[in-house]
A and B are shown apart, each in its own frame.
Chain A
Amino acid sequence: MATVERPRIYEGTRIPSPIPTILRLSDELRDSPDVMQVNFGPNHPSTHGVLRLIVDLAGERVEGIEAVIGYLHTGFEKTMEQKTWWKAITYPARIDYVGFQNDELVFVLAIEKLLELETPQKAVWMRMLLCELNRIHSHLVYLGTAALELGAISMFWYCFRERDLVLDLFELVTGVRMHTRYFQAGGLAEDIPPGFYAECRKFTEWMPKAVDDYESLIDRNEIWLERTQGVGLLSADDAIALGQSGPVLRASGVDWDLRRAEPYLAYDKVDFEVPVLPNGDVYDRYRVRMIEMRESTKIVAQCLDRLEGMEGEPWIADDRKVVLPPRHELHTSMESLIHHFKIVTEGYRVPEGEVYVAIESPRGEKACYVISDGGSRPWRVKFRAPSLVALEATATCMRGALVADLVAIVGSLDSVMGDTDR
């Protein structure tokens, strides 16, 4: 087999200026009869939802690209302004429906920052555990679908086998498989069920073996390497200029992870590696996510060690103005019943102010900007969507690419359209 030398990374920038998110046809090609304009999506199975790309093709080569978004606009940010803080917690999980638990966390952290509420240690560690499980879930969905789009259909079945194990754990703890509303302002909605530790331990022992399986399937597979290596190059300068974060940024050789740079929860107390790879192509983005899955499994195991020693500790803060009173008190204490009615109907009041809270979601920096006017409803909620930012890098990655690479590149940027359009 002959080896083809491909350019691995380039110096400087190749952002198509002045508009970095669009690749424009050059002047001599604009009038050429050979250029064909094709709609890729919004109903194409490999667009991860409803992304529409208008692609100008000269033969196999992509000469122009423009993304049309907004097909999944839900208006959740605006709807949340109509709901009390307590009710609004159910919404963020539906924005990024693959990284749901991280979205819920960022909003709850924002409320707690405004309220200056202390969270019990048990809740902190459980939040971390669930967020890392969610990261594994998100990367499994990425790996399964991205490999499926490049023709490796069996990867999809293997990945969704483990994804189901993660979702089973979510069902065990929170009651539903996605969109859990398990994180409440002040801690967790319910205590951790006793059977959870054993089930989760089984999962942490199984997961590294599963990642081994994926690696033997495609890590050094000739077709996979041909399709991914040297494709969709994004240099470190470009990645920073385009505001990338998360696996896309780390695959371009920039060592930036909010879990370590600005530790939230208890990430400064766990031991984990942040993978950084230098090449900035589709293959490195895939590798970063594979390593992150292993590291997340390690964090889950460390959280379990801590949580098992916290039996009987409180899981939610004891603040009667914000947290619903314990269930058994409703039948005995009039005061508790009044608090219960007040929190449910009116909602708790959050002091005036504005906060910006950022966490490392599976897709990068997920952040929540909240303004409170002191009332029982948020005055403004804004989410920084890493999917939208990743999508903005498509045009830069697509320079000189072939139409077959388009699927690989869009897949490797891992946008979730719910997150992009919000």
Chain B
Amino acid sequence: MSPQPYSSIKGFGVTFKQIFKKPITQQYPEYKRPVYPRFRGRHRLWTHENGLEKCVGCSLCAAACPADCIRVVAAENTPGNRVSAGERYARIYEINLSRCIFCGYCEIACPFDAITLEAEFEISEYSRDDLIYTKDMLLAEPIKRVPVADRQLYDTPIPAYKAKS
């Protein structure tokens, strides 16, 4: 193989071309690229419009979880303490997000669309204990908001698992 001095210089041409191009770097914490609508981030529990929780404590999400990171303890609804729309409700609902692999099987499993995986992905904490999300944390509006790309353009017309019943 003979030496290729001009070919070596050809490589610099690629470098030189970059001067005239816009950098593709995104200034991340200031700018957040919208995630696609199917993105599977942190979980969210949902309530009906009348304030009752959609979750009825059936533990199907816990059964579906390959990482065994969901813990559900159900209790009966009473006329004095009506929490969910069904007969029972989740007295304890915990997700250990340090174990979660974000496969989304819980939202596929849930027959009541009570749990979905939303767009939030900035869930780092200083302590592992803080990664155990309780029911109140999962029911609350997320503090950090992540932009989501256009659903019309990037998701199927009837989103298979995200349909809000």
Chain A interface residues toward B at CB < 8 A? 1, 3, 83, 86-88, 90-91, 94, 154, 158, 161, 168, 171-176, 179, 181, 189-196, 213, 216-223, 225, 229, 324, 327-328, 330-331, 337, 340-341, 344-345
If A175-B40, A216-B10 touch, does A341 touch B60 (CB 8 Å cutoff)? Answer: yes
Q: Are A181 and B160 in contact (CB under 8 A)?
A: no
Q: Are B64 and A87 in contact (CB under 8 A)?
A: yes
Inside 8 A of B109's CB, which chain A residues have their CB?
340, 344
Q: Are A225 and B1 in contact (CB under 8 A)?
A: yes
Give 28 A-B contacts (CB < 8 Å), ordered by A residue. Answer: A86-B105, A90-B66, A90-B101, A90-B105, A158-B14, A172-B38, A172-B154, A176-B40, A176-B102, A179-B103, A190-B156, A190-B161, A194-B153, A194-B156, A194-B157, A216-B13, A217-B15, A219-B7, A220-B4, A220-B7, A220-B10, A223-B8, A327-B160, A327-B163, A328-B163, A344-B64, A344-B109, A345-B64
Q: Report A80 CB to chain B, min CB distance, Å.
A: 10
With both beta carbons as reference points, the residue of chain A lying nearest to B153 in the complex is identified as: A195
Inside 8 A of A83's CB, which chain B residues have their CB?
66
Inside 8 A of A221's CB, which chain B residues have their CB?
4, 7-8, 11
SS class, residues of chain A in contact with chain B:
helix
A222 to B8, CA, bound (A): 6
Number of A-B contacts (CB under 8 A): 114
* Interface presence of B85 (CB below 8 A): no
Q: 7 smallest A-B Cβ distances: which pairs? A: A220-B7, A175-B38, A1-B3, A87-B66, A195-B153, A195-B154, A217-B11
Interface residues on B, range: 35 or more
Q: A172-B36, A344-B60 are in contact. List 8 more A-B contacts (CB 8 A).
A: A83-B66, A90-B103, A171-B36, A171-B38, A173-B38, A179-B101, A179-B103, A222-B4
A227 to B111, CA, bound (A): 59
Inside 8 A of A161's CB, which chain B residues have their CB?
24
Q: Are B66 and A337 in contact (CB under 8 A)?
A: no
Q: Are A181 and B103 in contact (CB under 8 A)?
A: yes
Inside 8 A of A330's CB, which chain B residues have their CB?
111
Q: Report B118 CB to chain A, min CB distance, Å.
A: 11
Fill in one digit per residue for B125-160: 1 if any A CB lies within 8 Å of its CB, else 0. Answer: 000000000000000000000000010011111101
Q: Are A175 and B154 in contact (CB under 8 A)?
A: no
Q: Report A120 CB to chain B, min CB distance, Å.
A: 16
Q: Report A197 CB to chain B, min CB distance, Å.
A: 11
Inside 8 A of A3's CB, which chain B residues have their CB?
1-3
Please report which residues of chain B, range 39-68, place their CB below 8 angstroms from some CB of chain A when the two chains form the complex: 39-40, 60, 63-64, 66
Fill in one digit per residue for B1-30: 1 if any A CB lies within 8 Å of its CB, else 0. Answer: 111110110110111000000001000000
Which of B4, B14, B60 makes the CB contact (< 8 A) with A345? B60
Which of B5, B13, B24, B157 makes the CB contact (< 8 A) with A1? B5
Q: Are A174 and B38 in contact (CB under 8 A)?
A: yes
Inside 8 A of A225's CB, which chain B residues have their CB?
1, 4
Q: Are A327 and B161 in contact (CB under 8 A)?
A: yes
Inside 8 A of B103's CB, which chain A residues have their CB?
90, 179, 181
Inside 8 A of A337's CB, which chain B residues have their CB?
111
A216 to B161, CA, bound (A): 46
Q: Are B160 and A190 in contact (CB under 8 A)?
A: yes
With both beta carbons as reference points, the residue of chain A lying nearest to B17 in the complex is identified as: A213
Please report which residues of chain B, range 50-107, place their CB below 8 angstroms from some CB of chain A when the two chains form the complex: 60, 63-64, 66, 101-105
Inside 8 A of B104's CB, which chain A residues have their CB?
175, 181
With both beta carbons as reference points, the residue of chain B lying nearest to A217 in the complex is identified as: B11
Q: Are B38 and A91 in contact (CB under 8 A)?
A: no
Inside 8 A of B160's CB, which chain A residues have their CB?
190-191, 327
Q: Are B165 and A193 in contact (CB under 8 A)?
A: no
A190 to B158, CA, bound (A): 11
Q: Report A99 CB to chain B, min CB distance, Å.
A: 18
Inside 8 A of B154's CB, which chain A residues have their CB?
172, 193-196
With both beta carbons as reference points, the residue of chain B lying nearest to A165 in the complex is identified as: B24
Q: Report B94 CB to chain A, min CB distance, Å.
A: 20
Inside 8 A of A94's CB, which chain B residues have their CB?
101
If A3-B2, A194-B153, A221-B11 touch, does A345 touch B35 (CB 8 Å cutoff)? Answer: no
With both beta carbons as reference points, the residue of chain B lying nearest to A222 in the complex is identified as: B8
A176 to B121, CA, bound (A): 11
Inside 8 A of B153's CB, which chain A residues have their CB?
194-195
A173 to B158, CA, bound (A): 15
A83 to B103, CA, bound (A): 14
Inside 8 A of B105's CB, which chain A residues have their CB?
86-87, 90, 181
Inside 8 A of A213's CB, which chain B residues have their CB?
14
